[in-house]
Chain A
Amino acid sequence: MLESIITWLTAWLGEDMGASLAYITNGKHLAWYASVRFTLIAAFGSAFFAVIFGLLGAALKQSIFLPFRWIGTLYTTMVRGIPDLLFILFFPLAFEHGVEFFLAHSKCSAEVMATATGWPPCAEAQWLLSTGDYLLMACISLGIVYGAFAANVIHGAMLAVPKGQLEAASAYGFSAKQVFWKFKVRQMWVYALPGLSNVWILLLKATSFLSLLQIADIVQWAARLGGANYIARVGLVHPDWRWKYYLVLFIFFILLTMISERFFEALQARASRGMSLAGVSNDV
């Protein structure tokens, strides 16, 4: 079956095109295509954390207790002053380092601790992380950063919920908690969607940083596959082709953005059925 498809394809495309097709479907290229899963897992995982941190941040920002409000404001203004890349690199490193610090204090002898110059001080304190662990940490740190953006959006959306709705709810005898969860948070999503769509696109673009966190993602593979390929037995297979591979990634991300925009447009149309939404602002 597979053989016949290959012979048929070669006959149809010709020798040259067939060879190109064979080249871009070899094992390494398949590994490249498969590594898209890291990007998607990181995007969805961090979107999940971002919504949670966003809700928390928004709740803190409108808390009755002043110090909580300060913490909430500090959290949401933090991302306006410090680059996201710094956080994305800092959180996983700091967490790993913190764990190794405790491991070192419990596992390494006092003499070793006093004399060691490198890190970790002894081999037992080394915390080896798998790609899955790094991915989880990447999700959490992206979630923290973009959660702050989401918190701003959600905070604004909560304020946009018409007061009359909430007053009507409490007039019907719902408790303050019920009014918050069943009316404010439920209705808030419609107002938050345009902003959250922007945050999602920012987050999607930030997943290109995964290669900086020890994950062999699409960017890393593009660099590996594109570099000049010289095999002693065959000679120069191809010169530096990295620009072609990066161009593919460039287009890939544009397509992802396009798909997300269509999806959010449909979602917005669905969510705002029966609501008059004249003055919903679009900015993050």
Chain B
Amino acid sequence: MNKPAKADKTIRVTRAFGNIVEGEALVSTEGFSPRYDLDRWSGLISRPGHALEGHNIKDKILITPSAKGGIAAGWAFYDIQHKGISPKAFVFGVTNPVMVQGAVFAGITITEGWSADPYQLIRTGDIVRVNPAKRTLTLVRRASR
């Protein structure tokens, strides 16, 4: 398999908050809401028909194009973080203030916007790193397939 050049492995994000984190990517083609889509007791995406139905967000780096409504996410992120089932980071294409307020309150890394389509570079299971200070999302290594 051809390895992409190093520069091709990094995507710039527009806005970011939080610590540097590295972990397994969970890539969704569909937007996300912790209220509409998530079982907040297990961490499983439970909404029937969601692109990630049946996947668990625990310790993942969740890459999703958009945020869905739901003001309750503000408490939900804090709740799932204390239950030990939160992802390591949320990487949004476009987000809304609820997600940001919730992530900041819970101390979970969050980013919004990307310089290139991450779906071309990153697949579920790949190991990626989010660096909020540098505003980067980097593919560290491919999942073994």
A and B pair up: no
